[in-house]
């Protein structure tokens, strides 16, 4: 085996349970750019990784668990070609196992399901969704999803007699008779990244003044340093001037001018939090083997998808800015779904139920309060996965700190 290193790390959770938080940070010398990002990025768990390879991670990451940014951006495929190529790739990876398609009913997973149904052997597909006995909306015949409220999609699945598996809190999420497919990182191409400055995603309101300035266009045609400075000034665990200095080569690596606030936010997320969507929280589940965790496949991750993200979303500034109506999801994907499902209610519901427009939910408060809307929330999780397969919580790490601390760069 290669040198002992990390596959996945949950710094917020790790620091929260470290009794000597300040001393730990001082001893382990986490850089300012890292401390800025674990406060700013909205993924849970947030684990910033610099995919431009300009900055050194504060810990050793197994080389098999990195996600490089493509350097050759030629031959960009259409989004439908990207989706169908990925679907066929997943079918091949599945072999003789089921393809468990995890559905929230939101825009990304509904699009993913359409592509898989279109090009794969439908007998191998198995829709997986959570249900509740609580009365949220409409008839209980089609079950209530914990996550979202697209009952139109679940009606479609059941009425067409497609394979499905229902999850409750006692269910095994990732079974041995299947591989798993999830809708990550679809939000890079479906117009949600501007929500990084929204109170809906941020538990606190520390960036609310920055958001107001952004909406008032005060950062338009300003260098990236101005927006990042205003953000970093709200975070007491980082030095703003050092953050600016450390980020400089990262923004020089951006293939477009960085004087647009939405490009700045999108680029920060694409560089530093894309990996969170690829190597997600399932890697921290204690009763999930590393072999099985490696068979959870984010659908919207491939070199082709990344080329689309960079050439269409970033360079053409498509699907990365908020629309006046709060929706404006990827029109190409929307057309793809309409063409396949031939049911506008399914597509409309997928737009309404996603967090791009949370105020449209009749049950918004219930949605925000439900811990169960997070697929892996009730699983026994640690704060790090080592490349020997072990999953450790903070206390377990601290008990073996002398043995394991070389994973971190002091």
Read off the pLDDT of residues 197-240 as tens digits, 9 standing for 90 and up: 544 444 557 788 888 898 899 999 999 999 999 999 999 889 99
pLDDT at 403 over 50: yes
Q: How many domains does the chain have?
A: 2
Query: Considering Cα of 229, then 235, then 241, then 246, what sign does the dihedral take?
Result: negative
Confidence of residue 317 (pLDDT cuts 50, 70, 90): confident
pLDDT at 353 over 70: no
Which residue segment(s) compose the domain that 108 sits in? 79-184+286-373
Domain contains 72:
no
Residue 295 CA to residue 391 CA, distance in Å, equals 17
Read off the pLDDT of residues 151-184 as tens digits, 9 standing for 90 and up: 889 889 989 999 999 887 778 999 999 999 999 9
Domain contains 138:
yes
Contact 12, 394 (CB under 8 A): no
Predicted local confidence at residue 205, as pLDDT: 72
Q: What are phi and psi of 314, to 5 degrees?
A: -80, -60
Contact 11, 38 (CB under 8 A): yes
Domain contains 1:
no
Q: What is the DSSP letter of 171?
A: S
Q: What is the DSSP letter of 28?
A: H
104 shares its domain with 245: no
60 shares its domain with 87: no
pLDDT at 362 over 80: no
Residue 290 CA to residue 300 CA, distance in Å, equals 21
- SS3 label, residue 180: strand
Residue 51 CA to residue 275 CA, distance in Å, equals 8
216 shares its domain with 292: no
271 shares its domain with 211: yes
Read off the pLDDT of residues 125-136 as tens digits, 9 standing for 90 and up: 999 987 655 544
Q: What is the CATH number of the domain that holds 298?
A: 3.40.50
Domain contains 190:
no
Q: What are phi and psi of 385, to 5 degrees?
A: -115, 120
Predicted local confidence at residue 372, as pLDDT: 43
CA distances from 347 to 113, 152, 160, 173, 191 (A): 12, 9, 17, 26, 15
Residues 33-44 have a mean pLDDT of: 86
The more confident residue out of 47 and 329 is 47
Sheet holding 6-9, edge to edge: 6-9, 384-386, 391-392
Q: What are phi and psi of 391, to 5 degrees?
A: -115, 125
Residue 290 CA to residue 242 CA, distance in Å, equals 37
Read off the pLDDT of residues 80-133 as tens digits, 9 standing for 90 and up: 999 999 999 999 999 999 999 999 888 999 999 999 999 999 999 999 987 655
- Which residue reads 């045609």 in tokens? 221
319 shares its domain with 387: no
Contact 46, 11 (CB under 8 A): yes
369 shares its domain with 385: no
pTM score over 0.85: yes
267 shares its domain with 179: no
Domain contains 192:
no
Q: Is 359 exposed, middle or buried (0-12, 13-18, 19+ CB in 10 A)?
A: exposed
- Mean per-residue pLDDT of the chain: 84
Q: Choose among 190, 245, 323, 233: nearest CA to 33.
A: 245
């Amino acid at each position: 085996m290669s040198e002992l290193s990390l596959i996945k790390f949950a710094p917020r959770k790790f620091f929260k349970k470290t009794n000597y938080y300040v001393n730990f940070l001082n001893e382990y010398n986490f850089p300012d750019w890292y401390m800025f990002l674990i406060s700013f990025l909205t993924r849970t768990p947030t684990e910033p990784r610099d995919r431009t390879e300009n900055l050194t991670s504060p810990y050793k990451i197994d080389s098999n668990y990195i996600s490089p940014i493509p350097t050759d951006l030629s031959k960009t495929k259409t989004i439908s070609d990207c989706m169908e190529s990925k679907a066929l790739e997943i079918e091949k990876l599945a072999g003789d196992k089921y393809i468990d398609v995890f559905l929230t009913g939101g825009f990304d997973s509904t699009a993913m399901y359409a592509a898989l149904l279109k090009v794969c052997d439908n007998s191998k597909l198995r829709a997986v969704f959570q249900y509740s006995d609580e009365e949220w909306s409409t008839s209980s015949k089609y079950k209530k999803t914990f996550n979202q409220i697209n009952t139109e999609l679940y009606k479609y699945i059941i009425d067409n007699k497609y394979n499905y598996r229902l999850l409750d809190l006692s269910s095994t999420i990732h079974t041995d008779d299947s591989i798993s497919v999830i809708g990550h990182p679809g939000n890079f191409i479906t117009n949600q990244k501007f929500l990084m400055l929204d109170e809906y995603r941020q538990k606190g309101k520390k960036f609310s003044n920055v958001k107001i300035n952004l909406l008032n266009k005060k950062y338009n045609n300003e260098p990236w340093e101005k927006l990042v400075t205003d953000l970093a000034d709200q975070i007491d665990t980082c030095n703003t001037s050092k953050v600016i200095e450390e980020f400089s080569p990262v923004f020089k690596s951006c293939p477009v001018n960085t004087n647009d606030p939405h490009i700045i936010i999108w680029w920060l997320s694409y560089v530093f939090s894309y990996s969170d969507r690829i190597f997600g929280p399932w890697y921290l589940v204690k009763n999930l083997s590393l072999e099985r965790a490696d068979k959870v496949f984010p659908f919207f991750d491939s070199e082709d998808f990344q080329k689309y993200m960079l050439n269409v979303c970033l360079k053409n500034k498509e699907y990365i800015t908020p629309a006046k109506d709060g929706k404006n999801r990827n029109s190409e994907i929307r057309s793809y779904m309409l063409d396949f499902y031939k049911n506008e209610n399914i597509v409309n519901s997928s737009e309404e139920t996603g967090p791009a427009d949370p105020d449209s939910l009749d049950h918004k408060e219930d949605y925000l309060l439900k811990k169960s809307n997070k697929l892996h929330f009730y699983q026994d999780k640690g704060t790090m996965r080592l490349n020997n397969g072990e999953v450790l919580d903070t206390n377990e790490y601290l008990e073996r700190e002398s043995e394991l601390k070389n994973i971190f760069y002091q």
